[in-house]
Amino acid sequence: MLDKDIQKTENVSATERIRNVKTFLPRVDIYENKDSLFLLADMPGVDEKTVDIELEKNILTITGRVENGHVGDATMLYSEYEIGDYERVFTLSDEIDRDKIVATVKNGVLRLELPKAEKVKPKKIAIKAA
């Protein structure tokens, strides 16, 4: 069911970039239960003010901005961590209820709940005695 509901889209160059910073593809985990798909994206340094989620037609675009990575008035001596923006694009199927999508971000992890449309949820059929 996952392949029909959400697909990775490789073409991320559709948006115009005006910031001169590296852009990374955030690592994503996708889970499913009977009611929803859950997408977890690792975006260190991003919070609710610097993440944007857009849904146009079937294209879900996630972008995140990381400002500067500076720690107070300290000077960086050595770093193994690169600072940059994040962008990831997915194609959603018609089986996702677009009006009920919920997004939260905490500690640099974006969580999207993508509820399934009523027509695709499993249903139990009652059996009546004859």
What is the per-residue pLDDT across 6-44, written as a single tens digit (0 to 9) for each?
555 544 444 455 667 789 999 999 999 999 999 999 998
Average pLDDT estimate for 38-53:
93
Backbone angles phi, psi at 2, to 5 degrees: -60, -45
* CA 88 – CA 103 distance, rounded (Å): 15
Q: How far apart are CA 32 and CA 30, in angstroms?
A: 7
d(CA 110, CA 53): 10
- pLDDT at position 115 is 94
pTM: 0.74
The terminus-to-terminus CA distance of the chain in angstroms comes to: 35
Alpha-carbon distance of 79 to 101, in angstroms, equals 37
Contacts of 105 (CB under 8 A, 6+ apart): 43, 46, 47, 48, 51, 111
- pLDDT score of 96: 92
Residue 119 has pLDDT above 90, yes or no: no
What sign for the dihedral angle of Cα 16, 59, 108, 46? Answer: positive
Residue 38: what are its φ and ψ, rounded to 5°? -125, 125
Place 71 in a pLDDT band, splitting at 50, 70 and 90: low
pLDDT at 125: 78
What pLDDT sits at residue 104? 96
Taking the CB of residue 116, how many other CB atoms lie within 10 A of it? 21
